[in-house]
Amino acid sequence: MELLSYARSGVDLVRAESVKARIARVVEGTFGPDVLRPLGLFGGFFAAPGSNGSLALVATIDSVGTKVLLAATLGRHYGIGVDLVHHSANDLLACGAQPLFFLDYFAAARLEENILEELVRGMTDACRALGCALIGGETAQLPGIYHAGTYDLAGCMVGVVSTDRIIDGRQIAVGDLVLGLPSSGLHTNGYTLARACLGLTGEREHDQQILAEIPAWTQHSLGDLLLEPHRCYYPLLHPWLDHPGLHGLAHITGGGLVENIARIIPRGRRVEIDATTWAVPPLFLELQQRGRVPLSEMYRVFNMGVGFVVIGEAQFIQALRQSTGEGWIIGQVCEGDTPRVSLRLGTDSDVVLTSGS
């Protein structure tokens, strides 16, 4: 039996990165002096009009991905709205920005009022908790594109940060420590591979039976575990954003630890991560076993229990960890250019994943 991978299940990350690299040159042709940072960070930076250069607007846009298929199978949509807002807020947080407002895009073959209302309740509750206004959106009915019973949900969030407090990794220094904060589950990435691991086919009754299973290591069903909302790290880290010892933040989404940390590491620095420094949650191991997925592929696709990363001076990291009572010191910053990030899996074969040239 051939081993499962993200590409085999339908998502080719390598090809996606290649395409994005090619179109980046075209996109950057639109940049003027008010664009404050290059592409590739967790948000786009634009000088706030009327602020005399003291403030930057930060924008991010994303979707919930194929997690919506599980929500549709189980008829539970509130958490998907929460997912979208939390994912967006985490991206802004990684830039040091405070959320200001949010817009959503909902598309389906036809409008199911109860589904949309449930999604909006999730989004508004999550926005309200963040002090972020949901100021509008778009609802599209596209029967020629979407199958009946499914939908797509995307959102754009805009935040603000003082230009002298932008967090983009430039201050990352040799000797800095890397703190990994626990995720609440898969968050909103890797669900195409997760569905393949579980043998979900899209046939409602078949998939409901599988998602109702309760693994021996938990009292929760697979459906409950997979629909656990994306954790928001803004309340935890917001009080620390002005600390001079904070040098970098990374939201661990598609591409896992290696690719997302690499986005913020400056030249002349490299990060070494040790995967044996935290215990991978059983849900990821369950998926790996069921799908016979190579361990290296798991770390390239999923967050593996680390949903957000903080990089900073050792004294700051220790103070943050002691104050919040959360996280593991999972790595350190060293001198060097390549690879930008290396992750040692600690397996018998001593596999090391790398990213960045």
Considering 165, 192, 208, which residue would you say is the last residue of a domain? Answer: 165
pLDDT of residue 347: 64
Query: Which one-letter DSSP state was computed for residue 238?
Result: G
pLDDT of residue 226: 98
Assess whether pLDDT exceeds 80 at residue 11: no
The average pLDDT across 26-46 equals: 95
C-beta of residue 77 within 8 angstroms of C-beta of residue 118: yes
Assess whether pLDDT exceeds 80 at residue 9: no
pLDDT band (50, 70, 90) for residue 180? very high
Assess whether pLDDT exceeds 60 at residue 133: yes
Q: Same domain for 206 and 319?
A: yes
Encode 95-113: b = buried (16+ Cβ within 10 Å), e = exposed.
Answer: bbbbbbebbbbbbbbeebe
Q: Same domain for 193 and 323?
A: yes
Is 198 inside any structural domain? yes
Structurally, the chain folds into a number of domains equal to 2
In DSSP terms, which residues pair with 270 in a beta bridge?
A: 334
Q: Same domain for 278 and 211?
A: yes
Mean pLDDT computed over every residue of the chain:
94
- What CATH number does the domain containing 109 carry? 3.30.1330.10
The model's pLDDT over 93-132, given as tens digits with 9 standing for 90+, comes to 999 999 999 999 999 999 999 999 999 999 999 999 999 9
Does the global pTM surpass 0.85?
yes
The average pLDDT across 47-57 equals: 97
Residues spanned by the domain of 211: 177-355
Q: Same domain for 204 and 332?
A: yes
Is 2 inside any structural domain? no
Q: Same domain for 244 and 194?
A: yes
pLDDT of residue 350: 63
Q: Greater confidence, 346 or 336?
A: 336
pLDDT band (50, 70, 90) for residue 5? confident
Considering 165, 185, 205, which residue would you say is the last residue of a domain? Answer: 165
Quickly list DSSP for 320-344: HHHHH---EEEEEEEE-SSSSEEEE
Is 73 inside any structural domain? yes
Residues in the chain: 357
Is 12 inside any structural domain? no
Q: What percentage of the chain carries pLDDT values higher than 90? A: 87
Is 340 inside any structural domain? yes
The average pLDDT across 129-149 equals: 95
pLDDT of residue 351: 66
pLDDT of residue 15: 74
- What CATH number does the domain containing 315 carry? 3.90.650.10
Q: Same domain for 148 and 92?
A: yes
Q: How far apart are CA 127 and CA 348, in angstroms?
A: 45
Lowest mean pLDDT among 14-18, 154-158, 282-286: 14-18
Q: Same domain for 136 and 259?
A: no
pLDDT of residue 7: 72
The model's pLDDT over 291-339, given as tens digits with 9 standing for 90+, comes to 999 999 999 999 999 999 999 999 999 999 999 999 999 999 999 988 9
Q: Same domain for 138 and 55?
A: yes
Q: Same domain for 197 and 346?
A: yes
The average pLDDT across 210-217 equals: 98
Residue 22, C-beta contacts closer than 8 angstroms, at least 6 positions apart: none
Q: Same domain for 217 and 319?
A: yes
Assess whether pLDDT exceeds 60 at residue 246: yes
288 φ, ψ to 5°?
-60, -45
Q: How far apart are CA 38 and CA 186, in angstroms?
A: 29
Residue 116, H or E segment: helix 113-130
Assess whether pLDDT exceeds 70 at residue 276: yes
DSSP reduced 3-state for 150: coil
C-beta of residue 153 within 8 angstroms of C-beta of residue 111: no
Is 17 inside any structural domain? no
pLDDT of residue 127: 98
pLDDT of residue 6: 67
The average pLDDT across 139-160 equals: 95
pLDDT of residue 275: 96
Is 13 inside any structural domain? no
Considering 112, 136, 165, which residue would you say is the last residue of a domain? Answer: 165
pLDDT band (50, 70, 90) for residue 2? low
pLDDT band (50, 70, 90) for residue 70? very high
Q: Which of 259, 279, 323, 288 is nearest to 180 (CA)?
A: 279
Q: Same domain for 161 and 191?
A: no
Q: Which two tokens stand for residue 45?
A: 């930076």
Q: Same domain for 78 and 196?
A: no
In DSSP terms, which residues pair with 153 in a beta bridge?
A: 106
Is 274 inside any structural domain? yes
Residue 349, H or E segment: none
